[in-house]
């Protein structure tokens, strides 16, 4: 039987010519390959360099500590040196006394974060009478965080003069409008914020005012919504302190707290999700210690 022409073509396809040219492959030029690898390397390297330059755990030599403590153009360098110095003081390194005059000088530094770190570092050596006197002055600092850290360091000296400032560390921070204006942007309740983090913006004519958090914590309440007009000094938000701040305050009150402080302490004994178990436990231990001393 004669095969159908179409069937015959399918069954016996024509052979491909052996000398047909292969499809051309596009090759990246050497210059483009180098650019590609350079960009990929920078993507990996830049975050590492940023972390390396801002990580306070990076070891500093004696020369670098002196240099960083006097680098007013880079406050984070000063903080880095302070943290390193605090570690040396905690390990009772006698060489740390060389920089004690710098610690006293930095207590009045214009940058809040520097004064805050400095107040913590001075609490690492309770044998320095000059630190004790300086910390007492820092209880009057304009920053609530600096006042709180100074108060906590004073407890190490056996001094309860900063007890009111420690109680304040347990309580929500009130954020007020620095100027009158219309709220054009505001964060949400429950949002975590860092000290100095933006909470809201006000518009007054062509001028925009930013409202920032005085502490690290979580937005507890908002008193103004977007579009509302607020007066200067009006409350805008309340910020709950973060767990570490509460933890340090409760530990300090374990040593110097008084019965009048129990209301603020018992607020952290509640069995609610937003209060970690270790804070509830510390609050109970602190209350027990205060009541024991009162007897």
Contact at 8 Å (CB) between 96 and 89?
yes
- Is 138:146 a contact under the CB 8 Å cutoff? yes
pLDDT tens string 37-79: 666 655 655 554 443 444 455 788 999 999 999 999 999 999 9
> Any bridge partners for residue 212, and if so which?
198
pLDDT tens sequence across 70-118: 999 999 999 999 999 999 999 999 999 999 999 999 999 999 999 999 9
193 Cβ contact partners less than 8 Å away, ≥ 6 residues apart? 187, 199, 213, 216, 217, 218, 219, 239
Q: What is the pTM of this model?
A: 0.77
CB 119 within 8 A of CB 135: yes
Provide mean pLDDT across the span 191-219: 93
C-alpha distances in angstroms, 105 versus 12, 35, 119, 131, 292?
Answer: 96, 49, 11, 11, 40
- CB contact set of 257 (below 8 Å; sequence gap of 6+): 163, 265, 286, 289, 290
pLDDT at 238 over 90: yes
d(CA 288, CA 269): 12
DSSP 15-28: PPPTTPPPPP----
Give the span between the Cα atoms of 241 and 115, in whole angstroms.
19
According to the model, what pLDDT value does residue 43 have?
62
Q: What is the pLDDT of residues 164-199, one digit of tens each?
A: 999 999 999 999 999 999 999 999 999 999 989 999
Query: Which residue is listed with tokens 């270790």?
Result: 278
Both tokens of 71, joined, read: 């680098």
User: What digits encode the pLDDT tens for the residues 106-157?
Assistant: 999 999 999 999 999 999 999 999 999 999 999 999 999 999 999 999 999 9
202, 228 contact by CB (below 8 A): no
């Amino acid at each position: 039987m004669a095969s159908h022409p179409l069937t015959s073509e399918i069954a016996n396809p024509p052979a491909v010519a052996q000398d047909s040219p292969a499809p051309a492959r596009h090759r990246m030029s050497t210059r483009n390959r180098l650019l590609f690898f350079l960009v990929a390397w920078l993507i990996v390297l830049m975050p590492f360099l940023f972390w390396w330059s801002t990580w306070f755990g990076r070891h500093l030599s004696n020369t670098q500590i002196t240099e960083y403590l006097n680098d007013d153009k880079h406050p984070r360098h000063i903080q880095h040196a302070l943290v390193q110095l605090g570690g040396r003081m905690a390990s009772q390194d006698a060489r740390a006394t060389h920089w004690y005059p710098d610690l006293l000088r930095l207590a009045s530094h214009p940058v809040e974060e520097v004064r805050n770190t400095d107040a913590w570092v001075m609490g690492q050596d309770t044998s320095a009478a000059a630190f004790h006197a300086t910390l007492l002055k820092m209880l009057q600092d304009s920053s609530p965080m600096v006042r709180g850290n100074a108060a906590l360091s004073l407890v190490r000296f056996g001094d309860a003069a900063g007890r009111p400032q420690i109680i304040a560390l347990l309580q929500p921070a009130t954020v007020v409008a620095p100027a009158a204006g219309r709220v054009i942007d505001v964060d949400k309740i429950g949002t975590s914020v860092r000290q100095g983090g933006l909470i809201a913006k006000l518009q007054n004519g062509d001028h925009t005012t930013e409202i920032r958090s005085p502490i690290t914590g979580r937005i507890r309440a908002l008193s103004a919504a977007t579009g509302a007009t607020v007066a200067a000094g009006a409350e805008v938000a309340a910020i709950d302190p973060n767990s570490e701040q509460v933890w340090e305050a409760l530990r300090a009150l374990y040593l110097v707290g008084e019965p009048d402080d129990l209301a603020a302490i018992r607020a952290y004994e509640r069995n609610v999700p937003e209060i970690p178990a270790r804070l509830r436990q510390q609050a109970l231990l602190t209350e027990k210690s205060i009541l024991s001393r009162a007897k």
